[in-house]
């Protein structure tokens, strides 16, 4: 597989692990450590997927997703919340904010790539899926 993925994450350990897994599987990974930086990178990059932490400094992931969805050039790019928020309603809140899907942290390295491929392949019209 190949493609370009933006990962917006402030935790260095999570950033390292996810980037390692993606790059090992042939993906180019762009990184942002806070929401506004991620919005800027997304606006000037050709992307196949955006992985978005919800618990970010300054601007949370819900606000970032809403801002990303206002950019018409990103309309076909799936956004997947990659978060430790796993309480009742968190998945729905991410979807309502504009995410196409939701992956819980801590990630399972054995299944993570299958989840990423699912979101890359299963969203031909980029409609909301879970």
User: What's the pLDDT band for 88 if we cut at 50, 70, 90?
Assistant: confident
For the stretch 42-68, pLDDT in tens is: 999 999 999 999 999 999 999 999 999
- Which domains can be identified in the chain, with CATH numbers? 3-112 (3.40.50.2300)
Q: How many Cβ atoms are within 10 Å of 64's Cβ, its own excluded? A: 30
Q: Using an 8 Å Cβ cutoff, are 74 and 52 in contact? A: no
3-state helix, strand, coil in the chain (%, to 5): 40, 20, 40
Residue 35 has pLDDT above 50, yes or no: yes
Please tell me the predicted confidence (pLDDT) of residue 128.
Answer: 46
């Amino acid at each position: 597989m190949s493609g370009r993925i933006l990962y917006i994450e402030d935790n260095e350990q999570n950033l390292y692990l996810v980037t390692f897994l993606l790059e090992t599987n042939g993906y180019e990974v762009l990184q942002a450590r806070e929401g506004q930086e991620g919005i800027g990178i997304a606006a000037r990059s050709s992307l196949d997927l955006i992985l978005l932490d919800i618990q970010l400094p300054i601007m949370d992931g819900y606000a970032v997703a809403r801002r990303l969805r206002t950019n018409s050039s990103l309309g076909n790019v799936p956004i997947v919340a990659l978060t430790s928020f796993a309480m009742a309603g968190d998945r729905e809140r991410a979807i309502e904010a504009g995410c196409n899907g939701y992956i819980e942290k801590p990630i399972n390295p054995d299944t993570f790539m299958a989840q990423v491929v699912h979101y890359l392949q299963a969203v031909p019209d980029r409609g909301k899926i879970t």
